[in-house]
């Protein structure tokens, strides 16, 4: 979701460009129907070495002129290295974000904050593009759900008596600890929202332990 400004702003700066999104199956579905994305390539997040090699071969055949690595994972770095000849090829150009992993790790694990003056994540993801243009980029996110998704959400909200009420939805889970807020921060924030008479809805799947843990902690604190 946070990467959605990238595709819109790329199209605005380079209106003739064709954009192909490479994303893990399932996770990338949130960007489906995005009018700024021309092609989608989905891959298994837990693919074998042979499957990854085959993916790289297929990507190489596309002859991309620019690679925008907004993820900077070990997998994406390996893909980029292979497509760019480990930086030796003139094409494709490679734009990558600075993931700031060590600073996030220090903040979450040891409460040492080197991110106080850092830009919001949406601006940070746009930095490679901003460095290449004098245009002022817009960093608001966008979502383009299809009709079935809209109807499914509406039915869910009606079933759980969430319409037409105003509320704040909070998803506490993430695939890796460094991608989420500490539980204590969520606990304090939600308690303050409730004290300010804001209804709060926790969202997440049954297997997302952070959401389940947070629900139990909040129930216990309010009973006390």
The model scores a pTM over 0.85: no
Q: Residue 183 sits in which domain range?
A: 147-223
Same domain, 9 and 85: yes
Q: Is 207 inside any structural domain? A: yes
Judge whether 164 lies within some domain.
yes
DSSP 176: S
Is 184 a domain residue?
A: yes
Q: Are residues 152 and 95 in the same domain?
A: no
- State the angle between helix axes of 209-223 and 183-195 in degrees (0 to 180), rounded to the nearest 10: 50
Q: Is the domain of 48 the same as that of 115?
A: yes
Q: How many CA atoms lie within 13 A of 155 on its CB side?
A: 6
Instruction: Report the CATH number at residue 84.
Output: 3.40.50.2000
- Residue 140 inside a domain? The answer is no
100-137 tens-digit pLDDT:
888 877 887 788 888 888 888 899 999 999 999 999 99
Of 130, 157, 181, the position where a domain reaches its end is 130
Residues 27 and 75 reside in one and the same domain: yes
Residue 219 lies in a domain: yes
123 shares its domain with 27: yes
Q: What is the pLDDT of residue 224?
A: 67
Domain count across the chain:
2
Are residues 125 and 154 located together in one domain of the fold?
Answer: no
- Token reading at 170: 């909070």
**Spatial separation of the C-alpha atoms in residues 142 and 8, rounded to whole Å:** 9
pLDDT of residue 221: 80
pLDDT in tens, 67-82: 999 999 889 999 999 9
Tell me if 160 is assigned to some domain: yes
Are both 112 and 31 inside the same structural domain?
yes
Residues 121 and 151 reside in one and the same domain: no
Residue ranges in the chain modelled with pLDDT below 50: none
């Amino acid at each position: 979701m946070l990467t959605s400004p990238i595709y819109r702003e790329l199209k605005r700066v380079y209106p003739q460009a064709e954009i192909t999104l490479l994303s893990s199956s399932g996770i990338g579905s949130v960007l489906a129907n995005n009018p700024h994305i021309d092609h989608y390539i989905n891959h298994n997040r837990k693919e074998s070495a042979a499957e990854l090699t085959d993916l790289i071969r297929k990507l190489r055949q596309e002859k991309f002129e620019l690679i925008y690595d907004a993820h900077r994972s070990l997998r994406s770095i390996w893909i980029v290295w292979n497509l760019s000849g480990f930086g030796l090829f003139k094409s494709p150009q490679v734009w990558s974000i600075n993931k700031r992993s060590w600073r996030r790790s220090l903040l979450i694990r040891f409460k040492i904050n080197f991110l106080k003056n850092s830009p919001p994540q949406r601006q940070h993801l746009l930095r490679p593009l901003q460095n290449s243009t004098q245009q002022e980029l817009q960093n608001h996110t966008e979502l383009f759900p299809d009709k079935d998704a809209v109807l499914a959400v509406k039915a869910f909200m009606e079933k759980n008596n969430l319409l037409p009420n105003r509320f704040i939805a909070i998803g506490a889970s993430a695939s890796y600890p460094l991608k989420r807020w500490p539980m204590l921060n969520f606990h304090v924030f939600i308690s303050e929202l409730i004290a300010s008479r804001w209804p709060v809805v926790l969202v997440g799947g049954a297997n997302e332990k952070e959401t389940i843990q947070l629900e139990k902690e909040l129930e216990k604190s309010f009973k006390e």
